[in-house]
Amino acid sequence: MIKIEKLTKSYPSRLGPQYIFKNLSFSFPTEKNVAILGKNGAGKSTLFRLLAKSEYPDRGRIITNRSMSWPVALQTGIHPQMTGRENTRFIGRINNVRSLGKYERYVQEFAELGKKFDLPVKTYSSGMRAKLVFACCMNIDFDVYLIDEATSVGDPLFRKKAKATLKEKSQTSGVIMVSHELDQIREYCNSAVLIDDGKLRYYDDLEAGIDAYTNPAPKQR
Ligand SMILES: Nc1ncnc2c1ncn2[C@@H]1O[C@H](COP(=O)(O)OP(=O)(O)OP(=O)(O)O)[C@@H](O)[C@H]1O
């Protein structure tokens, strides 16, 4: 169960508070993989951050009994001064990974960083950092993976592996995905939530959701 209850979220601005969601209530289906759709600025990333609890609402709450990954592309929780290995252990610990040694070995192998796994992350290229975060996330068994453009991680070889891993996860766990790439969405999702004007509309059929997103009905004046 992932339930949004009477949630309000705004950001301060010079024009006064900008409301993204006002008193929003919504239930995510748990047996489906959900694509979050909406035009630029609709609030997809904001919703993602709220789901991941990396941001808090002004009012209201999100209730869930499912474990959710952090949004992979955000790279939150990575400490530049710490090495890849230290970051891996830290992430494992805060996510209650049982066998930290095994987790560390899996991440090291998956991330393909070689000796640099023992160097501070601040010395990594952006692709290396992204690979580390992706490896840390995919090697934890979450109920739901929050995916934001994550399959564009790394070089083409790594990307192939990232896609295959994500495909496997999408068949055994839940996926909530934000992407403007419809091909990517079709690969991992089978339903959609369309954000429009601060409201969420659920489409049990992905294609119906994509159609509503790409061919919006004219707005009433
Ligand atoms: N930290 C912030 N401070 C102020 N305003 C913000 C902040 N983050 C987002 N916003 C505003 O909230 C609204 C929703 O932004 P969000 O990034 O969630 O949209 P999005 O649907 O993910 O857009 P895109 O498709 O362009 O990535 C936008 O109007 C944006 O300007």
Query: 134 and 110 in one domain?
Result: yes
Residue 156 domain-assigned (yes or no): no
Count CA within 13 A, CB hemisphere, residue 191. Answer: 15
By CB neighbour count within 10 A (0-12 exposed, 13-18 middle, 19+ buried), where does 1 fall? Answer: exposed
User: Where does 58-205 have alpha helices with state H?
Assistant: 84-94, 100-111, 126-138, 156-172, 182-188
Query: 119 and 83 in one domain?
Result: yes
Whether the CB of 45 sits within 6 Å of ligand 1:
yes
- In the prediction, which pLDDT does 93 show? 95
Q: In the beta sheet, which residues pair with residue 177? A: 35, 147
How far from 85 is each of 54, 97, 106, 117, CA to CA, in Å?
A: 23, 15, 11, 6
Rg (CA), the chain: 18
**Ligand 1 geometric centre to CA of 32 (Å):** 26
The pick from 22, 24, 37, 46 for probing ligand 1's pocket by mutation, whose C-beta has the most ligand atoms within 8 angstroms, reads 46
- In the prediction, which pLDDT does 32 show? 92
Query: 30 and 89 in one domain?
Result: no
**Ligand 1 geometric centre to CA of 124 (Å):** 28
Residue 80 domain-assigned (yes or no): yes
Range of the domain at 42: 2-65+181-214
- In the prediction, which pLDDT does 71 show? 84
Whether the CB of 49 sits within 6 Å of ligand 1:
no
Residue 90 domain-assigned (yes or no): yes
Query: 84 and 45 in one domain?
Result: no
Query: 135 and 96 in one domain?
Result: yes
- In the prediction, which pLDDT does 148 show? 83
Query: 125 and 81 in one domain?
Result: yes
Query: 135 and 79 in one domain?
Result: yes
Whether the CB of 2 sits within 6 Å of ligand 1:
no
Percent of the chain that is helix, strand, coil (3-state, to 5) = 40, 25, 35
- In the prediction, which pLDDT does 180 show? 87
- In the prediction, which pLDDT does 75 show? 67
Whether the CB of 43 sits within 6 Å of ligand 1:
yes
Query: 59 and 88 in one domain?
Result: no
| CA of 43, closest atom in ligand 1 | 18
Question: Measured between alpha carbons, how far is 206 from 186 in angstroms, rounded to an integer?
Answer: 8
Q: Enter the pTM of the model.
A: 0.90
- In the prediction, which pLDDT does 74 show? 67
Number of structural domains found in the chain: 2
Residue 169 domain-assigned (yes or no): no
Last residue of a domain, one of 92, 117, 141: 141
Under DSSP, the state recorded for 52 is T
Q: What is the pLDDT along the chain (221 residues), one digit of tens a residue?
A: 899 999 999 999 999 999 999 999 999 988 899 999 999 999 999 998 999 888 999 999 999 999 999 887 766 678 999 999 999 999 999 999 999 999 999 999 999 999 999 999 999 998 899 899 999 999 999 999 999 876 677 788 888 998 899 999 999 999 999 988 899 999 999 999 999 999 999 999 999 999 999 998 777 66
Whether the CB of 40 sits within 6 Å of ligand 1:
yes
